[in-house]
């Protein structure tokens, strides 16, 4: 008989819980709310929120919104230019920037001002990710973004990174890769100030999720297809347990993944709702 366990630490991070709570509270009294970008990188949760009146818009769509409408800034945050534009358009802001991200934005700006034109701001993060765009925007684009140690090496060797270096990270990146980046810069004798800005909740999840993956025969990792954090955590699970499979919804589950005596662990990204993890676990239980 298949045994199924849900990872108790999987599901929305605190910043996403806060943002969705604010959105739902607003939609209890109003028929619609515009979100600048996807509130969360999970298609099933976006569908649920859409039924309540949440409408996702892009930056270029803002000019078509009537003045006085409410626009939600999601947990990823936005650069200063976005706030200026929203103000010019006469839209009301519901700011749901995660407090961890907000502190990171402030820290990057302070470090940049301290460099006073000397040295480099380096951000370890997903190029083009909403959170990273918000971080780069704090310094007017004057930062080097790298997704891994290999990209850092390339940028360093071509002279794009000058000492001293103020090193930051997107909040949801892999702690082990961040450490590799730090070690590389140190090995090159670079004057380095490393700000460990990976969210503590996320950092702990990496270590604990690897243990969870090893403790089961099969792992079903539930995540939206656009979740950057989901891809990182899925690969973490797969490295710990080769029998790790990705599923967006119950419809993606393949019974061929399982044997009758398997212990199955169900886990997910920081953008995966708890209700979806529970739905997937229930479905797998019916396969035994």
Sorted by sequence, the CB contacts under 8 Å of residue 101 that are 6+ apart come out as 15, 75, 76, 77, 131, 134, 171
- 131 is a catalytic site residue: yes
Whole-angstrom Cα distance, residue 200 to residue 253? 31
Q: Under 8 Å CB-to-CB from 178, ≥6 apart: which residues? A: 124, 169, 196, 198
Torsion of CA 183, 184, 190, 196, to 10 degrees: -50
Contact 276, 6 (CB under 8 A): no
Catalytic residue among 38, 131, 147, 177: 131
Burial of 118 (0-12, 13-18, 19+ CB in 10 A): exposed
Instruction: Tell me the C-alpha distance between 36 and 29, whole Å.
Output: 20
Active-site residues: which are they?
131
């Amino acid at each position: 008989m298949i045994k199924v366990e849900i990872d108790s630490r999987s599901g929305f991070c605190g910043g996403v819980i806060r943002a969705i709570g604010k959105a739902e509270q607003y939609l209890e009294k109003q028929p619609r709310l515009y979100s600048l970008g996807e509130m969360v990188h999970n298609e099933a949760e976006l569908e649920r929120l859409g039924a309540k009146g949440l409408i996702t818009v892009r930056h270029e769509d803002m000019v078509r919104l009537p003045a006085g409408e409410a626009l939600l800034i999601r947990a990823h945050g936005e650069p200063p230019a976005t706030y200026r534009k929203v103000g010019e358009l006469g839209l009301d802001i519901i700011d749901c920037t995660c407090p961890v991200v907000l502190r990171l934005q402030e820290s990057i700006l302070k470090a940049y001002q301290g460099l006073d034109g000397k040295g480099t701001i380096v951000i370890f993060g997903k190029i083009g990710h909403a959170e990273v765009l918000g971080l780069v925007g704090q310094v007017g684009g004057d930062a080097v973004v790298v997704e891994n140690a290999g990209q850092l090496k390339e940028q360093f060797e071509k002279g794009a990174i000058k000492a001293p270096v103020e090193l930051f990270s997107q909040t949801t990146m892999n702690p082990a890769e961040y450490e590799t980046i730090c070690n590389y810069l140190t090995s090159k004798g670079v004057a380095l100030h490393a700000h460990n800005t990976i969210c503590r909740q996320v950092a702990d999840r990496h270590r604990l999720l690897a243990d969870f993956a090893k403790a089961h025969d099969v792992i079903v990792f539930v995540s939206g297809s656009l979740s950057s954090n989901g891809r990182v955590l899925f690969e973490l699970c797969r490295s710990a347990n080769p029998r790790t499979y990705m599923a967006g919804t119950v419809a993606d589950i393949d019974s061929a993944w399982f044997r009758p005596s398997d212990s199955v662990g169900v886990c997910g990204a920081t953008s995966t709702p708890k209700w979806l993890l529970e739905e997937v676990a229930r479905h797998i239980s019916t396969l035994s």
